[in-house]
Amino acid sequence: MVLTTLPLVPLPAAVVVHEGRMPLTATARVHGSSPAAGILIDALARRGGPALSPADAGDDAPAPGDIVLRTDAEGSASEGYSLRIGDHVDIVGDDEAGLFYGVQTLLQLARQDDDGWSVPRTEITDAPRFPHRGVMLDVARHFFDVSEVKKFIDATSALKFNRLHLHLSDDQGWRVHIDSWPLLTELSSTTAASGDAGGFYTKDDYRDIVAYAASRHMILIPEIDLPGHTHAVGVAYPELVEAPVLNDALVTQAENLGQPLPVAGESYLGWGVGHSSVRIREERTYDFVRDVVRELAEMTPGPYIHIGGDESLGTSQEDFDHFAERATQIVVDAGKTPVAWHEMGAAAGIAEGTVGQYWGMKIPTGAHAAEAAHFVERGGALIMSAADAAYLDMKYTADFPLGLTWAAIIDVRTAYEWEPTAVLEVPDEAILGVEAPLWSETTRTIDDVEQLVFPRAAAEAEIAWSPKHAPERTWESFRGRLGTLAPLWKAEGVRFHPSADIPWSDR
């Protein structure tokens, strides 16, 4: 028995490597009725690997080289799996999600060399460290259509992410149809940042994304950003939104980038933040929030609705807190758990159980740590998105053509080397997990998105999934393992950034 590094990201909880490899050939049959079987067969074919076929129904006697997929309800850790490769492959999921993750691990293990396709003989027992392993896609600054979102789901679920947070509204556009307020999409969806074309999801589109995500074991978390980031709401319904309140940073940035300033009632195409707010002291605003939350809740099977809360820079603290308390309660009344950016933790009476999303720095500044801690004091929990580590929209290097720099320049190593339980002074159990956001001001196409997301999302996936302490939870081990993902990404047409600090492999 030898212990060596397998080409796996995220690193599994426990691995024993045996000598030798098991050939993968086109005579192999995949046993079991799980949908994961089709996912395995199709993905291997896209790699140019052997064309596996499903075993006959009821045939549960694996021949050498076959692959057996099954779930075992006795399994303890949810989403976990075991994978044994001897003269055949056995993957046992604790549940269907675990089986899906076991298949993703097998796909990473499958390699082609001069002797053909094979997998190493090994025993893996695996389960996630955190229940919440998220990625966020901002479809408001730039819009990405259903097929692009599905491709994003494929590539991120393959890294064992299980939450897809869609940022569905912002100053630049409103991206999901709401029957009771139809002008949102009719008037406020056609444009995007920098004057690019917009778009929106019909309710059927949205349900299609939800179902596709579920088939890859991802829960969709829809976000409607409130009370700020609502300029687009005012283009459709001027009576709901205050006149823009400019701040110095916004004016300077607009000058530097040659971007227009926001004008009430007109589409906003710049990147400035903090200038908009719904009318917090008007009851009509809460009719609006209630309707939007209800319609979203009706088509969202997952437990969460995110109501934003970031960067309300032109709003008094008193008004902001008032809004935070009412809006989180509206989500609770709709039967969902509210999620909010950490600023909403400033409100003393935020609804109990609200989940906070921390987007401050690894070393917190200002009131951010206290705001985040208040969610825990109110019986909620925290998702960690430290901006100077987990923000996928920051540049890799100062001269990288895409991305922003306000939080940090984040190379792959910086994305990898941070610990989500070490940022705030809250009990470890209060940390639900990690989320890596992709804000889309600078990404005009899904290709642009992918270059910022990959490979750094793989670093966040390992932080969210893998044990905190393990001999191979090191940058040196990670960069070697990360390099082995290149042929998988190429086969899927994922446009990753071939960062120079990673030894990328060909096959």
Closest CA relative to residue 218, chosen from 286, 281, 137, 280: 137
Taking CB under 6 A as the rule, does residue 386 contact ligand TNX? Answer: no
Tokens 């021949």: give the residue.
Answer: 63
Taking CB under 6 A as the rule, does residue 404 contact ligand TNX? Answer: yes
Q: Which residue, 126 or 441, has its beta carbon nearer to ligand TNX? A: 441
Q: Is the peptide bond before 7 cis (omega within 30 degrees of 0)?
A: no
Residue 439 Cβ vs ligand TNX, minimum distance, rounded to whole Å = 3
Closest CA relative to residue 407, chosen from 434, 433, 389: 389
Beta strand spans in 32-110 (E): 53-54, 67-71, 81-85, 89-93
Residue 228 Cβ vs ligand TNX, minimum distance, rounded to whole Å = 9
Residue 420 Cβ vs ligand TNX, minimum distance, rounded to whole Å = 16
Q: Is the peptide bond before 227 cis (omega within 30 degrees of 0)?
A: yes
Q: Out of 66, 393, 435, 472, point to the residue binding ligand TNX (CB under 6 A).
A: 393
Q: Which residue, 242 or 311, has its beta carbon nearer to ligand TNX? A: 311
Taking CB under 6 A as the rule, does residue 273 contact ligand TNX? Answer: yes
How far apart are the C-alpha atoms of 440 and 138, rounded to whole Å? 6
Whether 384 contacts 390, CB under 8 Å: yes
Q: Which residue, 144 or 341, has its beta carbon nearer to ligand TNX? A: 341
Name the amino acid, one letter, at 133.
R
Closest CA relative to residue 355, chosen from 385, 384, 382: 382
Closest CA relative to residue 129, chosen from 258, 6, 4, 10: 10
Q: Which residue, 95 or 310, has its beta carbon nearer to ligand TNX? A: 310
How far apart are the C-alpha atoms of 156 and 133, rounded to whole Å? 10
Q: Which residue, 32 or 309, has its beta carbon nearer to ligand TNX? A: 309
Q: Which residue, 95 or 441, has its beta carbon nearer to ligand TNX? A: 441
Q: Out of 126, 242, 310, 321, point to the residue binding ligand TNX (CB under 6 A).
A: 310
Q: Out of 341, 396, 400, 478, point to the residue binding ligand TNX (CB under 6 A).
A: 341
Taking CB under 6 A as the rule, does residue 311 contact ligand TNX? Answer: yes
Residue 408 Cβ vs ligand TNX, minimum distance, rounded to whole Å = 10
Q: Which residues are catalytic?
A: 311
Taking CB under 6 A as the rule, does residue 439 contact ligand TNX? Answer: yes
- Collect all residues with Cβ–Cβ distance below 8 Å to 264 and sequence separation of at least 6: 234, 238, 241, 243, 244
Q: Which residue, 108 or 357, has its beta carbon nearer to ligand TNX? A: 357
How far apart are the C-alpha atoms of 356 and 478, rounded to whole Å? 29
Q: Is 412 left (phi over 0), alpha (psi -120 to 50) or beta?
A: alpha
Give the pair of three-digit tokens for residue 92: 């046992």
Residue 405 Cβ vs ligand TNX, minimum distance, rounded to whole Å = 9
Give the pair of three-digit tokens for residue 184: 């949102």
Residue 311 Cβ vs ligand TNX, minimum distance, rounded to whole Å = 5
Give the pair of three-digit tokens for residue 291: 């309707």
Which residues share a beta bridge with 126?
81
Taking CB under 6 A as the rule, does residue 359 contact ligand TNX? Answer: yes
Give the pair of three-digit tokens for residue 51: 């064309």
How many residues at the interface with ligand TNX, by CB under 6 A? 10
How far apart are the C-alpha atoms of 358 and 170, rounded to whole Å? 19
Residue 213 Cβ vs ligand TNX, minimum distance, rounded to whole Å = 22
Tokens 């692009």: give the residue.
Answer: 148
**Positions in 103-132 near ligand TNX (CB under 6 A):** none
Taking CB under 6 A as the rule, does residue 489 contact ligand TNX? Answer: no
Taking CB under 6 A as the rule, does residue 435 contact ligand TNX? Answer: no
Q: Which residue, 211 or 251, has its beta carbon nearer to ligand TNX? A: 251
Residue 146 Cβ vs ligand TNX, minimum distance, rounded to whole Å = 22
Give the DSSP H/E element, type plus range, for residue 14.
Answer: strand 14-23
Q: Which residues bind ligand TNX (CB under 6 A)?
A: 273, 310-311, 341, 359, 391, 393, 404, 439, 441
